[in-house]
Every structure is written in C-alpha cells, then in structure tokens.
Amino acid sequence: MRAVDGDGTERRGLWPQYPIRTERLDLRPHRRDDLDDLFAFHSRPEVVRYTPWPVRDREETRIALEAKLARDALTEPGQWLVLAIELRETRTVIGEVLLKWVSDIDRQGEIGFALHTDYHGRGIAAEAARAVLRLGFEDLGLHRICGICVDANAASAGLLQRLGMTLEGRFVDNAFFKGEWITELLFAIREDDWRAQSQA
C-alpha cells in the first residue's frame, strides 16, 4: 500500500481499516481496556511456553500493553503490526496476531500469533492468521511471508502448515531460549502460492 505525503512524496506502508472482520473475529489495535483480557493469557505458563516473553504479572502485562498501543500500522521495515484477536460474540480479547515488515526491497514479512489456551482447537488462530496473510500480500504487497516456531511446538507447526506454508528449514540449537538451546523451524509461503490457495 502506498500513501502520498503533503509534499507529494510517495511512501509504502500498511494502514489497515479497523476492525478487520472475519467470520467470528474482529482484529484491531490494542486498547488500554484490554488489560484484563490480556493478563488472562499472558499470565498462563502454557500460553507463553513458546513465546518470546515470560509469564507476566498484571503490572508487567500493563507495561507490555502500553508498548503495543502504537503498533497499529507499518510505516517502515523492521516494524511489527500487533493486533488484538477479539471474539465478536463476547467482545473478549483472546489472543494476538502479528505481522512484521521484514524488508521492503525483498518484500519479505513474518507472521506470529498467541492464543488463550481455552480457545485452542477451534480454528481461531488460523482464522486470524489468514486475515493477516491477506494484509501482507494484498495490502502491503509482500512477496513472501514466513513463520518461525520452536520444533517442540507441534501446535504452531501444524497451524503454519494448515496456512499453506512449506517447511523450508530446521535450524538445530539456533537460539538460547528460556534457559536452553532450541531448534527452530522455518515455514514460508510465497504470494503466488497464497493466491492459488485462496482461489481454490
């Protein structure tokens, strides 16, 4: 997506119209009143086992939430778009879905997600992730989007495969993560494959 500044300069980026509605979800930027919902899953060891952050208390969750409030657009490579996954039926935030603009020149992106364990197994993370893939390919004009997970995280690996991503690499002892060396799996999907899959 391109925008034109007041001086006529064209710039690339992503400024979504919110909420992004799917069948069951509203994806939107975080708000300060999301704190209770966010704390409900950021405080669960089983949720954060494979995420970059540790189990958080309420104050730590509040600080993290403040940092997410401005992540509602992508204006330059290196930034993450961070969206709350709100279940429309209950207006409850039950997770987060993310899109990183990795490179403008190479048109690369990365997807991430976290979901409250009470909502696992319902296809919710996949529903949110598909919407974000669409943003990346259609609106930001990316060529390739990857997803990286710990090899022990079978649920995330399965989700990335269900999104049509292909396992491209297995990096043994690639990161020191939460006190131990971990092996990471790299999945990715290219724009052409995503479009073919979406039209099938």
Run of H or E including 160: helix 154-162
pLDDT at site 7: 57
Directed axis angle between helix 35-42 and helix 58-68, to 10°? 120
* Whole-number pLDDT of residue 199: 85
pLDDT of residue 155: 95
Contact 149, 114 (CB under 8 A): no
For residue 33, is pLDDT > 70?
A: yes
Structure tokens at 126: 């996949």
Residue 4: pLDDT band with limits 50, 70, 90: very low
Tens-digit pLDDT profile for residues 122-165: 999 999 999 999 999 999 999 999 999 999 999 999 999 999 99
What is the per-residue DSSP string for 69-135? TT-S-B-STT-EEEEEEEETTTTEEEEEEEEEEEETTTTEEEEEEEE-GGGTTSSHHHHHHHHHHHI
Boundaries of every domain in the chain: 15-199
Instruction: Tell me which of 4 and 87 has the higher pLDDT.
Output: 87
- Contact assessment for residue 145 and residue 109, using Cβ atoms and an 8 Å cutoff: yes
Q: Name the fold adopted by 15-199.
A: Aminopeptidase (3.40.630)
What pLDDT sits at residue 200? Answer: 75
**Statement: residue 6 has pLDDT above 70:** no
pLDDT at 168: 98
Over range 3-21, report the average pLDDT: 77
Distance CA(83)–CA(133), nearest Å, equals: 13
Give 71-109 pLDDT, tens digit per residue.
Answer: 999 999 999 999 999 999 999 999 999 999 999 999 999
pLDDT of residue 12: 87
> What is the CB-side half-sphere exposure of residue 111 using CA atoms within 13 A?
31
Query: If we measure between CA atoms, which residue out of 112, 96, 130, 113 comes closest to residue 22?
Result: 130
**DSSP assignment, residue 164?**
T
- Which tens digit of pLDDT belongs to each residue from 34-58? 999 999 999 999 999 999 999 999 9
Mean pLDDT of 163-185: 96
Q: What is the helix (H) or strand (E) element at residue 155, kind and residue range?
A: helix 154-162
For the question of whether the overall pTM of this predicted structure is more than 0.95, the answer is no
